[in-house]
Structure 1
Amino acid sequence: MRFTVFRRMMAEEFGEVRAEMLARDHVFSALGGRTVDQALEAGIPPKEVWAAVCDAFDVPRERR
């Protein structure tokens, strides 16, 4: 998954403003206690980050 696709999916699922806020502020235990932005900067693939976000927020399978 490309970073642009990841960001688009975040915006589609949560809205642009909330997606940016979640990426910057929400700490995910599945990402080693990192935010989305920190996880991506640390080199965790966007697909893994998206899976962690989907699990944490119960995103339906058809939108994963």
Structure 2
Amino acid sequence: MKLGIILETKEPEKAWNAFRFASAALVKGHDVKVFLMDEAVECENIQHPKFKVIEEMKKNRGA
């Protein structure tokens, strides 16, 4: 299945969940594209003790 995820927020919990969903879908063999819009383009700068957005973004990169 092909999935497109549009993320428009840099709120840590929402961004983290979007990337967790994308990672889980990739592991299951789905084709996934994540589109960052508006403030979501700053996701790689999110620092949060509980929601490790940067780590989640790096999982399965290039898969």
Q: TM-score, normalised by structure 2?
A: 0.29
Higher relative contact order (CA 8 A, sep 6+): 2
Query: Which structure shows the higher strand fraction?
Result: 2
Query: Which structure shows the higher helix fraction?
Result: 1
